[in-house]
Structure 1
Amino acid sequence: MNSPSFDRVVDALRQVTTESNRQSGQWTRFHCPVPTHGQGRGDRNPSLGVKYDPRREKTIVNCFSGCVQDDVLDAAGLHVRDLFDRLPDRARDDYRPSTAPRPQRSHGDAERGRRPVQRPTRSEDLGAVVGPRRHITTYTYRLPDLTPVGQVLRFATAHERGIAKDFSQRRWEKSRQRWVPGGFAPVLFEAQIVAEAINDGHPILLCEGEKDVQHAIIEGFPATCNAMGAGKFLPEHAAQLRGAATVVVVADRDRAGFLHAASVVEHLNGMVGDIDVRQAATGKDLSDHFHAGHGINDLVPVDKCQLAQLRRADLADRSRSGAGPRVMSGIRSVGVSGIGWPERDWGLDR
């Protein structure tokens, strides 16, 4: 039986591209509608797959030649929220983000707390490579005066069971007036916005990656991150947030994300006025949260004491064995019924 989201996605794709007359297992195949597919020559061999995951109540869209999901959805006039069967009714006066267990996550009920899902992160978990490595976008890191410092380049490679992402860095050499491969000084992303928010006393969202930062800024919230994601937040980054009234750390909902958040909190203690830790109400990160129709006030609070315990356990295990803990500790969400920041001035026009 098809689902509302599957029917919605398939109907939209049929308006803009051609459906293949053959199935590939559970995948319904289409010619990929992304204009740049095949270096602009189009998709001659149907490489876009669509299937429904009843466990997650979500429709999965995957271009096996490596096109990014956002580009596929844009070409079909769809949004990420269209991939889900059901979204919360945020128009209700009594709406609160649900803390009940969802099928796709390995956590108990609200009393026992949320347990983040372990997600495949290595390319071998995704199967064999089936497409070329493609450059997706470039994020430029600048000083508050907009002087360029470095860039992070994002790449994607299509595999049998999904897309593997990877990153590289390059730095700006002023003397040569050119970009050269290699790391760069620890500068916060969107440093100018960070400096303005600190000066004006506005809260700052601290995310794990550049995509979430850009999404937050588009939504109207000052945001930043460090280069290269989880585990790379340094004392030099923390120093650039000194004097901030409030920093809201948005933790990705996986082991690396919670450990990263715990490290960030440790570095920021004593440097900023208030530290808050939140996680997405739906999905893994802030972009998923916004795409699913949630607002900023729907971010779910995270227990900082449990984050600290997780970090101590991780450090102890590393000192014994040289590797992180094999089993993820549960991270409890707190105060869900009282979520809301109605008096906060985020400092950007919305």
Structure 2
Amino acid sequence: MSAHSRVIDALNAHGSKGRGTAWQCVAHEDRAPSLSVTNGNKGVMLNCHAGCATENVVSALGLTMADLFDEPLEKRERPQVVAEYPYCDEQGEVLYLVRRIEPGYDGERKTFRQYRPDGAAGVKGIRRVLYRLPEVIREAQAGGTPLVVEGEKDADNLAKIGCVATCNVGGAGKWSDDYTQHLRGAGEVVVIADRDEPGRKHAVAVADSIKRAGIPVRVLEPARGKDVSDHLAAGLGYDDLVPMESRPTNPKNTGDVQSADAGGSSGISGMPITDTGWDAPLSVDAPTLPPFPVDVLGDLGEFVNATSASLQVPVDLVAFAALATISTATGGRRQVLVKADWRESTALYLAALADSSEKKTPALNAAANPLREVEEELMEAARPEVEATAQEIRITTARMGKAEQNAANASPDKRTEAEADAEAARVKLLELGDTPELPRLLVRDITLEALAKRMYEQGGRIGSLASEGGLFKVAAGLYGNNGKANTDLLLEAYTGGPYTIDRTGRAGARMSHTFLALGLIVQPGIISGLEKQNPEFRQSGLLGRFLYAKPGPTAEDTFDSPPVPVEIASAYDHRIRDLIKRVWSTPDVLTMELTTPARQAFGEFYNAFAKRRKPGGDLHDLADWAGKLRGQLIRIAACLTLYEDPGAREISHQRMTDVITMAPYFIAHARAVFDLMGKNREGALKPARDVLAWLKGRKDPGADFSAREVWQALKGREWADDMDAMNDVLLQLEEYGWLALIPPPDTTGKRGRKPSPRFAVHPWIATPPKEER
């Protein structure tokens, strides 16, 4: 079908009236045809004379922008080999190779081809064996548990977590009883099915072959995704696999998988089945994250709790804003000597997530107000001297310029005097130094170049508390610099290292020490996909320098919330002011140390924590971030110690042990935020949760719906770029068991556009099951 015919059919199906090139626009209430539809050489041009964007017209028609073209918008990517899998005999000699080619031929996503060891195509006459055969034989003969999967990629991914896994060449439906003989001696064989109809049928056939050989066998399947590779990518392990569903026919769904046994049971345990005939669906809920441990904040906890209750925001937001405020108030004038070769700054990089209208700015303001008030006072106090010095610099600069000009034009007998005047002015300028700036404690919306300038003006230090996420946008290069930004300053200012500002046409400026405190409370959309779009952020260590919070919204939203008690607000204000006076204002960087018991407690935590970052540990996938967590806990302990006593030079055992108990909170929330930044694991399920929330919020949650209905309701979301993205989410929900595609009506011979796919919804959407007590 041509693009023009496709568009005209869609207009007719929508009830649009028109003929030729003039049609009623479907994106607004159009009584007189205002939509121009012209047929070009390669596709259709749409122009609404009332001003509707083409994208909106296309969306209202249930089409995509690609549907306007007779040919694909992009050239087809050339197929290439992306992986090669050697199949070996019992002694490890390569018998043949399987190559994975992407994209596949004939429009397929992938294609597999078999080759001889010398690279010649075809394996006729070569004995077929199991993948990774030598390992499988050793595992079986030792009475172990070999795993059988559908593809080589799955087997290799399982091997990475220490499992012995295999598959047959050719994929689903190609298992032979000859393969089963190599599994004899195994204590048990576990078959892992792909979560689709061919995959489950293949798993049942493999299990039957193994069972007939008298070998114990079970069939499991992924708890997430289509195959075990998706399951592992979701952060799950072998123990998280679930029994294969028996998949009875859901209402309005004919895609069930029948048992291979004549008696109707293969001995394979199934998933729970509801009394409605639907399988129990897989959860798409985000994991429950631990609450912020306010009780370990000491005196600061009173302010955090009271402000949270007054603003009705999660305590996490106030705690992060307050810690960033305290960090800023230290001004980099303290360092912690952890051991002989390890020092930590008091700089904290903190990022908390909160949706729109969750009072991000009020939470930041409540914590940062003392800083802003003191900043204003410092600026007013310094203004007369700063202005006087700036004026003296201007006068001396003008005097030196005039003296230099006189020296250049003077006769020999007067040149010496003019040169002496110029030299005196030069020496005076050196004494005066750079033109002074008013003292600053905070910056907000700023580029990285301007941030470096402000830090230099303030002796290499500054703080930034913001609720709009501009810093992440700037770091991602969204504003200028041809899409690139130099984040070196953010990396150095965290550690306190030196930094040089190179200026075009002017002398460079060098900061021997740098200090930056960051407190960002931003919407999840700001960082969604941040790591995937900017992998250098993770690789450079920038994302690993942040502590993260991803709290849920508060349940309370009442007018009569309790105000913060005056004594609590005053105590917090006094402590921040005292920090600035006794720490920020001092010229020297002083050293803090851990008491002997505190050092011992931290050392024990450090050693136990190190094992969790190694391969096989639960934090190996976050090893870069987790490596910095230990130092960040030292920084928090120092900030809380100074908050209570600006003159403190030691971190106590009690403070250290209290802060160490915060580690589980930071780990759980960092994992959730990294999921979101990488758009993987739980982060990838957000679109599914949005669709389920829409379904539950309808007047009749249990009613069937069309793909077009949910698209019209949710388009504009960060993830809902086009109808293709929505279709992917609906397919995901179908795989998870929340939806069932209703077979479309027969439209053979009928004119017009095919109807939008309709879905039946799981009964639990309308009537969730009661939780067991």
Structure-1-length-normalised TM-score: 0.49
Structure having the larger proportion of residues in helix: 2
Structure having the larger proportion of residues in strand: 1
